[in-house]
Amino acid sequence: RDMPPRSRRHPGVSGHAGIDTLCRVRGVGPALAKALWEQFGSLRAVAAADPAALAAAEGIGPKRAKAIHDFFS
């Protein structure tokens, strides 16, 4: 599989686990979860992002950005 390596800043959160968590968000499938992971670099960075930063990511509009933000809030 082509999965991101374990985050050096956040050991214990592998790419696979982070992508699986992102897939639990309504409207986020595996391809979009992987794209978010690659753009933000970690699950914690995605979780900390504000809706405007999330909406700026490719494939994420305002509704998905809100769903992602609400999932982690």
How far, in Å, are 19, 29, 47, 69 from residue 9 at the CA level? 17, 25, 15, 21
23-33: pLDDT as tens digits? 999 999 999 99
Q: Report CA 10 to chain centroid distance, whole Å.
A: 14
**What is the mean predicted confidence (pLDDT) over 48-71?**
94
Residue 36 has pLDDT above 80, yes or no: yes
* Angle separating helix axes 30-40 and 15-22, nearest 10 degrees: 120
42-52: pLDDT as tens digits? 999 999 999 99
pTM for this predicted structure = 0.74
Containing H/E element for 34? helix 30-40
Give residue 9's pLDDT band: very low, low, confident or very high (50, 70, 90). very low
pLDDT at 14: 53
